[in-house]
Structure 1
């Protein structure tokens, strides 16, 4: 640099160039430097908006990182002076009313300090471009323990303090608040109930406004949100109740804001936020409530690889639930395309993800989940996947891959849904369904024959028996090639006995010891090559014999101990002796490890030492 800035004006102008804050009013963000621009004029309201930062970068996407700048002339004040940190943090406090992630930068022409939520951010002394600081925050490892801790607080508060007893209503309310954070809702501590509730609703309507014409059913999200009732006092004549409610709302806003910041990290790998909520919120579920089985995240990623999905595929889930397969597919496809800012990413979101969900409230959850992850929502249909109209809709999607976990009960038409999907996608499309292990074998003979006459079962992958812990159902992945008859061809089956996950109290099953990535690589390769050298569970079967992985029959074995026990029991029976009493008094060791002989009316027992 030819000239080192010496005055505060020079420092500010130089910082603006290095940070690249000169593109005021750009398509991506509002950015600039100056001395007279107030935070109020930049769109903020409330306390502190008369402050005038030296620089700002405010993305139009509220889920991205915002930056505020404070500059000082060299040698005028130590860059580590508490006053400078406090000043930039005052700016950040205001900006955080609308952004989850805010970096406050202090620069004196020679050295740089950066702060996030009042805590120092490790950065070089030399000032960098804004992208450096943005990437610094977006690339942070995901603190899932923190997400679960915050989710537990939210669940306890919504259930106990706000009186929302319905499991799905708590999930929907939280999801809608997360959507609101991403779409410019002003949610700040101190709000009253009316402003809080209306602020979320307005943000939801804004989020779906541009897509409502393409998908009118998106209105269901705001409709379902509006129907959720809180059992709290809003009596303005009771000041203590009003203040307590404001505190509760403030805590909820703080927790949601922090979660939103965590899931906006670029390290977030498409995990289903709703599944995290479900694991926690499910603690209060009554036995009478029907449960939605959410597909574990590691299985959605495994199926994505197993069916060889790529960024050019069009993915269908005709029983979308909360949208876990669609969210995972969107995340993987966008990463393969080069990131969220590519043109391909926009196409993936708008044209390559399709879902159907029949339950009204679960459909709202799916919409919210896709909105939280930024789009893919316009191709969600609120339909019954068993119907001809759903079949017609499926045929228009051009789906090239199907990833599904349909409801297992016959009353929900499990196999009718499977057949409807297979019949209405194009010939050659690979379709993966998670079903109970023996579901195909228990299907009526007529339907089973019809399916195999028109479609080919390629592979069956038995999943770990404790995968859906607490549900009591063992499952397999059934992979079909649509439109190609079975024609007597055999299918390949394997058994993934363990996935390495363990059950963590109140948090579901987690890969605590990081075993799954290696296991996933192994199984994807082994199933593709149909060659296993490690676990050796592969089988080939004719569909005339079975339609599932078959547990090998254990060979019949009899030990000397078994023979001795049976012989002794028989001899005691002949003599009218109570065998149970004898065993209890002598102990199992003596009873089953002894030499037995008979001399006249006497049974001789010699204990082996």
Structure 2
């Protein structure tokens, strides 16, 4: 049954969602809905027009909002839009940034000043619309500068030598700041106070989540375990003054980073990836080998798997959470922004991660906590083990039941996309992880894995046959050979469809030779020339169409399970032919080619050289035995 809403009911419904009446008087704002309030009464002298809803902040540099409501039987055409635009012009007399909403209970049109913009079809809370004017991304270069200062301070001043401990120390401070920890950068805070503020904030804000997932208290535990060489409890006043100054600087730097990543300008930039690139400068041998997926590749994987805001994402070797954070950011942007109801759904129930290493798991928790999301869907487990497989089936994998043979059979729900960069070494069970994931997600789930180029081909025969019996390799995209600079491994993205046998079907392959990035000292590889967006669009289109580049080709799984580098065509020059013919003639006459070359060279050195202007002549004495 279709419910017809009057204009009054539409206005009331809009107020309930937008929250305009509740904001009246907050921070000096005038906000509300109604039928009889004129613009004149709202401070626009002499204007008798009546808006249906309004939000007018005390600071006229902030964003204002005006609502035009219509009965649900009235279409939102040009005449109705003109009414709204008239009101926007009125508000623009005092506010340079105004959002206009035209709403009839079913349909919605949104305007930024006088320009219509795309927005979620469903009406959102007012905060979402006030954020539409925040368009700039965060300043990654500035975050790198701040991170470098923090790294040097923690490494040289505090004496925290462990790479992951420096990352965890900084990440926990960011988490505390995100949850409104009272940091005072006045040079009077000693280390014990600073340490306690972080721990108490984490414990307080995570109390509810610990009931759901008790493992999250690991973050606080790891932070409390961090060791440093600096004597932060010294009784010497000069040393204490030095510690207080260090803490003051650290708080200032962390606050700046926090302001960047917690703003509406955040677009999913992987802050943990930035930390890793910078903190990696002082790594020890025992810390070598950990590979963090470059941010532009996480975004590329998201696009080639055609992830959308309704997908449920799994990364069963999530590391610091780079894939999950990028997926969350892109999905939320598609949903209309961080203030939408859909954004909450994405954070609460569409992101799933597993990490085995205790300290890296703590980093993943911190990374998700920094953005107030997804933390309860992270587990510290070993994806090689049945416990993790059961979790994937139960929590992330939907409804599974055992059949008569005792095999788990998928019924409904669950993960829809997998994005992973598992550890490559055999000792970590790389292909066991890959197989376990595909065996326990629903059939037809698209799974993207970053693996060494020949990893699948070098897998044991029995396991390889087992994987292809139950899952289909669709695509292999070879990545630039210098992607993981300094690691010494070349990689490809392997895209599978889980639960569908290969049946000897060919798979598509291509080679992205260049991503446009260059290596910047102490900062890793960066798109300093701005080439990546165009390159990414080209390759996303190539992978989607499965054509469009000279490297594109199809391979039979009977012959290969990787991208095959092109074989250079056979060529022979005239010089090569003459040399080969001479070698053959000398062979027929029993002359050793190597000895002959040495003899001729020695004769040249012993001979006389003359130049008559046209020719250069080398004369070797007749009695020379060579």
Bucket of the pairwise TM-score, normalised by the shorter protein: 0.7 to 0.9
1:176 to 152, 155, 172: 172
Q: Which residue matches 2:573?
A: 559
Q: Which residue matches 1:395?
A: 393
Work out whether residues 404 and 434 of structure 1, in 8 Å CA contact, stay in contact via their aligned partners in 2.
yes
Structure 1 residues 557, 264: CA separation in 2 closer, same or farther (over 3 Å shift)?
same
1:457 to 473, 482, 504: 473
1:582 Cα deviation after fit:
8.4
- Mind listing any 5+ residue stretches in structure 1 that lack a counterpart? 1-19, 34-54, 58-104, 115-123, 587-593, 604-609
Say if 2:482 is the partner of 1:482. Answer: no
Structure 1 segment 20-39 matched on structure 2, within 5 A: 31-33=26-28
Secondary structure, counterpart of 1:169 in structure 2: helix
Q: Which residue matches 2:282?
A: 284
Work out whether residues 455 and 481 of structure 1, in 8 Å CA contact, stay in contact via their aligned partners in 2.
yes
Work out whether residues 137 and 265 of structure 2, in 8 Å CA contact, stay in contact via their aligned partners in 1.
yes
1:452 Cα deviation after fit:
0.4
Q: Which residue matches 1:149?
A: 145
Q: Deviations over 1:393-438 (max 9, x none)?
A: 1112111100000000000000000000010011111101000000
Structure 1 segment 38-57 matched on structure 2, within 5 A: none
Structure 1 residues 132, 459: CA separation in 2 closer, same or farther (over 3 Å shift)?
closer
Structure 1 segment 51-90 matched on structure 2, within 5 A: none
Cα distance between partner residues in 2 of 1:470 and 1:580: 43
Q: Deviations over 1:92-132 (max 9, x none)?
A: xxxxxxxxxxxxx997xxx9799xxxxxxxxx994568979
Cα distance between partner residues in 1 of 2:427 and 2:605: 51
Work out whether residues 318 and 356 of structure 1, in 8 Å CA contact, stay in contact via their aligned partners in 2.
yes
Q: Which residue matches 1:525?
A: 541
Q: Which residue matches 2:512?
A: 496
1:525 Cα deviation after fit:
1.4
Say if 2:598 is the partner of 1:577. Answer: yes
Q: Which residue matches 2:231?
A: 233
Q: Which residue matches 1:411?
A: 427
Q: Which residue matches 2:54?
A: none
Q: Which residue matches 2:209?
A: 211
Q: Deviations over 1:228-256 (max 9, x none)?
A: 12322234531111111000000000001
Q: Which residue matches 1:420?
A: 436
1:557 Cα deviation after fit:
1.3
Work out whether residues 353 and 376 of structure 1, in 8 Å CA contact, stay in contact via their aligned partners in 2.
yes
Structure 1 residues 355, 235: CA separation in 2 closer, same or farther (over 3 Å shift)?
closer
- Mind listing any 5+ residue stretches in structure 2 that lack a counterpart? 1-17, 32-56, 64-91, 99-126, 397-413, 608-614
1:430 to 418, 437, 446: 446
Cα distance between partner residues in 2 of 1:193 and 1:112: 39
Structure 1 residues 601, 522: CA separation in 2 closer, same or farther (over 3 Å shift)?
farther
1:579 Cα deviation after fit:
6.7
- Using the TM superposition, name which of 564-573 and 397-406 deviates more: 564-573
Q: Which residue matches 1:86?
A: none
TM-score, normalised to structure 2's length? 0.72
Q: Which residue matches 1:539?
A: 553
1:578 Cα deviation after fit:
5.0
Work out whether residues 128 and 338 of structure 2, in 8 Å CA contact, stay in contact via their aligned partners in 1.
no
Work out whether residues 112 and 127 of structure 1, in 8 Å CA contact, stay in contact via their aligned partners in 2.
yes
1:580 Cα deviation after fit:
7.0
Say if 2:176 is the partner of 1:162. Answer: no
Q: Deviations over 1:295-326 (max 9, x none)?
A: 01111011111111111110000000000110
Q: Deviations over 1:439-486 (max 9, x none)?
A: 001000000000001111111010000000110100001111111110
Cα distance between partner residues in 1 of 2:263 and 2:604: 65
Structure 1 residues 134, 228: CA separation in 2 closer, same or farther (over 3 Å shift)?
farther
Structure number, greater radius of gyration: 2
Cα distance between partner residues in 2 of 1:508 and 1:581: 52
Structure 1 residues 574, 156: CA separation in 2 closer, same or farther (over 3 Å shift)?
closer
2:250 to 252, 256, 272: 252
Say if 2:405 is the partner of 1:374. Answer: no
Secondary structure, counterpart of 1:212 in structure 2: helix
1:262 Cα deviation after fit:
1.4
Q: Which residue matches 1:195?
A: 193
Cα distance between partner residues in 2 of 1:132 and 1:377: 23
Cα distance between partner residues in 2 of 1:21 and 1:580: 93
Cα distance between partner residues in 1 of 2:319 and 2:603: 59
1:564 Cα deviation after fit:
5.3
Work out whether residues 158 and 228 of structure 2, in 8 Å CA contact, stay in contact via their aligned partners in 1.
yes
1:510 Cα deviation after fit:
0.8
Cα distance between partner residues in 1 of 2:509 and 2:557: 11
Cα distance between partner residues in 1 of 2:20 and 2:372: 27
2:341 to 340, 343, 354: 343
Structure 1 residues 436, 598: CA separation in 2 closer, same or farther (over 3 Å shift)?
farther
Q: Which residue matches 2:459?
A: 443
Cα distance between partner residues in 1 of 2:604 and 2:213: 74
1:577 Cα deviation after fit:
2.7
Cα distance between partner residues in 2 of 1:577 and 1:238: 78
Structure 1 residues 351, 284: CA separation in 2 closer, same or farther (over 3 Å shift)?
same
- Using the TM superposition, name which of 565-574 and 182-191 deviates more: 565-574
Say if 2:564 is the partner of 1:550. Answer: yes
Structure 1 residues 558, 112: CA separation in 2 closer, same or farther (over 3 Å shift)?
closer
Cα distance between partner residues in 2 of 1:341 and 1:582: 86
- The size of the alignment, in residue pairs, is 492
2:530 to 471, 494, 514: 514
Cα distance between partner residues in 1 of 2:262 and 2:557: 46
